[in-house]
Amino acid sequence: MPSTLTRLAPAPEALRAAAFDLGPNPSLVFTSDGQLRLANEAAERFFGQSLGLLRRHTLSAALPSDSVLPGLLVRATREGSVVRERELEIVIPDHPPFEAEVAAAPLPDGLVQMTLTVRSNSPTAERTADTLRSVAGMGRTLAHEIKNPLAGIRGAAQLLSHGASAEDAALAQLIVDETDRIRRLIDRVEAFSDERPPSRQAVNIHRILDRVRVLMAAGIGDKLTFRESYDPSLPHAWGDEDQLIQVFLNLVKNAAEAADSRGDGRGEVTIATGYRHNSPSTPLEVRVQDNGPGIAPHMRERLFHPFVTTKVTGAGLGLTLVAKLVADHQGLIDFESEPGRTVFRVLLPRRALNSSAVIGRPIARVKAPS
């Protein structure tokens, strides 16, 4: 049975591209060795941040060793026909497990199109959602229970410091400082249990980035070179201004610290914007680039996980919160890194997602890993 794209070969290229991108099911196009070449809009929405993992690795390297998906690519290529597997439980890092029917169809030029029909009533997905809700509820409860005794400890330490010797006063101040640090950590953890959607409106992304730069420049001074490359025709983003400031302040702060760690006075941070015509639901792109040492390979797959950090004084929650806020905006975040160059890309919607759809949108292209 020929693939959908093969049957549509006589149609104009734009029509075939629109048919692929507007398909209701997640669809990915791989090379025969598992390199991701294309992803439609449904796949971008469904996989979210996890799509970045598939961009950076072959399918077999990105998935657990017992995954059947790489074998489907091999079979479709070898047999030259569509192969299907039903009721598969699929596990992808940083994505809840799900059940789906998977069809792999060979295409010209050695490519394979993989389409997933996801079970909306998957017991695995329901269990995952319940677990996440339970963890969020537990986080709220623990935060409340910890804050109360923490306030008592802080108050007692302040009382002990009055009239104490210099040595004892210093120890009391240490207790106060540490309780304040724990309180700040709890406040950051509490942010993950906030399930309210962001209060979104049309916002000027360049105004947000200018404010972030001013805040960073005040703290860093002349130690770094900041560069801008803005697209002046960029339309307004659809988002919560305060939350987006938090997102980009965190990314630019990390980039500045990485660039400054060179120690040679030649650190640079570049903030750039652009319009992604091939990403219709999230066309506004913001890139934050630094020329620091890069992210260690063993850290890259866990970079957005909580409590993962390379900083001596870091809590490892900054990028996790960034990923959450971007996901709350129904956006995407990804990165690429090598020594001397690290780039974080954030894709955001340009308007409310429930507005009228655009007909005839181009295919959503994903750059394959080099």
pLDDT in tens, 50-64: 777 788 888 888 888
Q: Are residues 226 and 335 in the same domain?
A: yes
Q: Are residues 80 and 108 in the same domain?
A: yes
pLDDT reading at 262 higher than 60: yes
pLDDT tens-place string over residues 166-199: 888 888 888 888 888 777 767 666 665 666 677 7
Within a domain: residue 32?
A: yes
Q: Are residues 186 and 252 in the same domain?
A: no
What's the confidence (pLDDT) of residue 361? 30
What's the confidence (pLDDT) of residue 309? 64
Which of 119, 136, 168 finishes a domain? 119
Q: Are residues 212 and 337 in the same domain?
A: yes
Q: Are residues 166 and 299 in the same domain?
A: no
pLDDT tens-place string over residues 85-124: 887 888 887 677 778 889 999 988 889 999 998 875 444 4
pLDDT, average across residues 323-337: 86
What's the confidence (pLDDT) of residue 179? 85
Based on the number of CB atoms within 10 Å of its own CB, is 247 exposed (0-12), middle (13-18) or buried (19 or more)? buried
Which of 85, 119, 153 finishes a domain? 119
Of 1-10, 140-149, 264-273, 279-288, the range with the lowest mean pLDDT is 1-10
- The enclosing domain of 30 has a CATH number of 3.30.450.20
Domain that holds residue 158: 126-193
Cα–Cα distance, 332 to 44 (Å, whole number): 8
What's the confidence (pLDDT) of residue 16? 59
Within a domain: residue 172?
A: yes
If you average pLDDT over every residue of the chain, what do you get? Answer: 77
pLDDT reading at 341 higher than 90: yes
Greatest Cα pair distance in the chain? 89
Strand stretches in 93-247, DSSP E: 95-106, 111-118, 201-203, 225-229, 237-239
Q: What percent of the chain has pLDDT over 70?
A: 74
Q: Are 271 and 286 in contact (CB under 8 A)?
A: yes
Tell which wins on pLDDT, 179 or 302.
179
Q: What percent of the chain has pLDDT over 90?
A: 22
Inter-CA distances, 207 with 119, 220, 274, 282, 328, Å: 42, 20, 15, 19, 21
Q: Are residues 56 and 145 in the same domain?
A: no
Which of 78, 103, 119 finishes a domain? 119
Cα–Cα distance, 270 to 290 (Å, whole number): 6
Q: Are residues 267 and 180 in the same domain?
A: no
pLDDT reading at 260 higher than 50: yes
Cα–Cα distance, 160 to 169 (Å, whole number): 7
Q: Are residues 98 and 232 in the same domain?
A: no
Amino acid at 328: D
Q: Are residues 342 and 220 in the same domain?
A: yes
Within a domain: residue 319?
A: yes
Total domain count for the chain?
3
Q: Are residues 261 and 303 in the same domain?
A: yes
- The enclosing domain of 325 has a CATH number of 3.30.565.10
Q: Are residues 78 and 176 in the same domain?
A: no
Q: Are residues 115 and 131 in the same domain?
A: no
Tell which wins on pLDDT, 302 or 141.
302
Within a domain: residue 263?
A: yes
Cβ atoms within 10 Å of 340's Cβ, excluding its own = 11
What's the confidence (pLDDT) of residue 108? 87
What's the confidence (pLDDT) of residue 242? 84
What's the confidence (pLDDT) of residue 206? 95
Within a domain: residue 154?
A: yes
Of 112-126, 142-156, 327-341, the range with the lowest mean pLDDT is 112-126
